[in-house]
Amino acid sequence: MSKIPNFASQNYEIIAELGRNREGGRITWQAKQLDTEKTVVIKQFCFATAGSNWSDFQGYEREINILKKLNHPNIPKYLNSFSTEDGFCLIQEYKNALSLSKQLIFNPEDVKNIAIKILEILVYLQSKLPPILHRDIKPENILVDENINVYLVDFGLATFGSRKVSVSSIFKGTPGFMAPEQIIRPTLSSDLYGLGVTLICLLTGINSTEIQDLASKDDPYKLEFKHLLPQLSLPFLNWLEKMISPPLTDRFKNAQEALENLLPLDLIRTPQARLNKSNLTLYANRFAETLRETITVTNDIPETILQGKWSVLPHPSDPPHHIDRHSWIKFTPKKFSTNKVKCQVFLDTSKLISGKTYQREIILKTNGIPDSYSVKIKLHTAPLAVTLRQTNYFDLGRLFLLLIPSTIAGLGAYSAALIMVSAETFLGAILGGMAIFWSMEVAWSALMAITLILTTVGAGVAVLYQSIALTVIAALVGAGVVAGVEAGIYAGVIAGLSAGCIINFLHNIFEKRCLTQGVKMGGVILTIAISTLLGSGLIIGLKPIILLGLSVLILPLIMVLLSPSFERARLRGRYRQAEKETLIKP
């Protein structure tokens, strides 16, 4: 342990040793100013120490000249200097902080803050005329206190401006922290190299004396460090790699440029969401239709998991909604935690006005960079006219024309057909069986054969399977009831073919009317019943009971056929009322 010097005559009392440079004969002391009780730092230079020379003393003079020109809160101020019997002392402001070489454990955010504050100091130094180059940025010369206040010290190698280095100071600096060009002509980028290497020490926990172990075999100035920091973001690693790039042209030009590029970066590696769509345009073809669109979200950043949640940006026309529920826009899934997901967006147009254009914006919040994505939606709702099809009067005419062959077929055919269509038509089957008594003559069977064969040919192959089944049933009914078995079979065969064609055709017509199943079945039954009564009337005469039945049955049939128009009017009325009261405006 060296002898503690006595500086009482200079008004200072030594408290403790802070550090020393044996080769340069420099010792740093913590001291107290006797008259003010203020704590200061004394940097003592000893001429008699081995390794020291006059150029080192000139370095002290240069440091004093530079410190006198500086006034920055993160650079300890120059206070005084005095000569001693064997050397020279420089007095500076004391900062209660440790050098980074004595505390290498920092979290990534702290490291970023340290980098920002050192860069701000360098921006200040480089703004001077001429600019000041520190030339010895390393962990030992950076002090950090417990509140992450950062201080840059030791300006012994600092110079004014970018100029050629004298021969006496060519090898001044710290190996591993010196930029390649610093040996001959340092530049504004030279201090960036030293800062970049310092940050690598902090992030990897490697001591400054061992940093050269990371040097590339091909280039001693190129450090290979990325594999040691898998948890850090690629943009930050690229920034750090640029800070220590050996070629001067690949480095940042100055501290200001390096600082501007660092500020927006996150050090921790974070996922990055990619959406295959940023705009959605949809067209509704039917009123009250629910539309669906798929957005694929992916994350390509390794060793990260993307998390996201969808929401709808508030719109003045939409009802107030909770962040997790919207009146007409929904998502599946609404939340996710995976690196590839297909998200479906559902748009319920039943709550919107028809024939309008709606524009909304949906937001995807993520744990990545950036933390939110916007997708614009443009929705065209369908016009109200497409709710129901218009009445086709040509089809109605064809429907009434079917009454003629139906009448000729007689009740026997329809009794068999109704049994195949629905159990609800059991009564019609009973009436059909009774009516066969009135169609026993073979002449009527021959006439039916000619008429109904023509009808069957027009029906097409699609109804043959049904016609065959109905033929068998109708034949059995006719054989069991009619006294003349031969006549009953003929009547049953022809009636079955006719019934299959007629019922199939009726179902096709009512299917196009956009009606409920009950209304469609009712129309078929009424049509069959009317033709049955007409057939009976031709045989036994249009007696009053027949005419009364026809008038009673025809009126509901007309109502069924006209029901599309009534249904349209009813829906329009309900829609207009809803448009005023509950439907959401664009």
Angle subtended at Cα 398 by Cα 393 and Cα 399, rounded to the nearest 5 degrees: 95
Question: What residues form DSSP beta bridges with 13?
Answer: 32
What letter does residue 232 receive in the DSSP assignment?
B
Name the packing angle between helices 234-243 and 255-262 (round to 10°). Answer: 170
- What's the whole-number average pLDDT of the chain? 74
Residues 166-175, mean pLDDT to the nearest whole number: 55
Give kind and range of the element (H or E) at residue 524: helix 517-540
Q: How far apart are CA 193 and CA 197, in angstroms?
A: 6
Contacts of 580 (CB under 8 A, 6+ apart): none
Confidence of residue 337 (pLDDT cuts 50, 70, 90): very high
- Is the distance from CB of 192 to CB of 217 less than 8 angstroms? no
What is the chain's Cα-based Rg? 49
Confidence of residue 176 (pLDDT cuts 50, 70, 90): confident
Q: Is 387 strand, coil or helix?
A: coil
Scanning 127-189, the segments in alpha helix (DSSP H) are: none
- Of the two residues 81 and 409, the one the predictor is more confident about is 81
Q: What is the pLDDT of residues 250-273, one digit of tens each?
A: 999 999 999 999 999 888 888 888
Q: How far apart are CA 413 and CA 492, in angstroms?
A: 6
Q: Environment class of residue 119 by beta-carbon count within 10 Å: exposed (0-12), middle (13-18) or buried (19+)?
A: buried
CA-wise closest residue to 365 among 300, 298, 308, 305: 308
Which phi and psi (to 5°) does residue 479 adopt? Answer: -65, -35
- What is the pLDDT at residue 212? 86
- Is the distance from CB of 559 to CB of 545 less than 8 angstroms? no
What letter does residue 141 receive in the DSSP assignment?
G
CA-wise closest residue to 83 among 51, 52, 44: 44
Q: What is the pLDDT of residues 186-205, one digit of tens each?
A: 899 999 999 999 999 999 98
Angle subtended at Cα 276 by Cα 274 and Cα 280, rounded to the nearest 5 degrees: 125
Residues 306-314, mean pLDDT to the nearest whole number: 92
Find tokens 């504004």 and name the residue.
188
Residues 169-182, mean pLDDT to the nearest whole number: 71
Q: What is the pLDDT of residues 232-242, one digit of tens each?
A: 888 899 999 99
Q: Residue 515 CA to chain centroid, in angstroms?
A: 42
Report the share of the chain in percent with pLDDT over 90: 35
- Is the distance from CB of 135 to CB of 186 less than 8 angstroms? yes
- What is the pLDDT at residue 140? 92
- Please determine, for residue 100, whether its predicted confidence score (pLDDT) is greater than 80: yes
- What is the pLDDT at residue 559? 59
Report the share of the chain in percent with pLDDT over 70: 61
Q: How far apart are CA 206 and CA 185, in angstroms?
A: 29
Alpha-carbon separation of residue 573 from 560, 568, 570, 576, 578 (angstroms): 20, 9, 5, 5, 9
What letter does residue 215 receive in the DSSP assignment?
B
Q: Environment class of residue 274 by beta-carbon count within 10 Å: exposed (0-12), middle (13-18) or buried (19+)?
A: middle
Domains (range + CATH), the chain:
8-93 (3.30.200.20), 98-262 (1.10.510.10), 273-386 (2.60.40.10), 393-569 (no CATH)
pTM (predicted TM-score): 0.52
- Is the distance from CB of 306 to CB of 338 less than 8 angstroms? yes
Q: Is 190 strand, coil or helix?
A: helix
Confidence of residue 416 (pLDDT cuts 50, 70, 90): very low
- Exposure letters 248-258 (e unless 16+ CB within 10 A, then b): eeebbebbbbb
Confidence of residue 120 (pLDDT cuts 50, 70, 90): very high
Find tokens 């200040």 and name the residue.
124
Tokens matching residue 471: 């033929």
Q: Which of 231-235, 244-248, 528-532 has the lowest mean pLDDT?
A: 528-532
Q: What is the pLDDT of residues 563-582, one digit of tens each?
A: 666 666 666 666 666 666 67
Task: Give me the amino acid identity at 228.
Answer: L
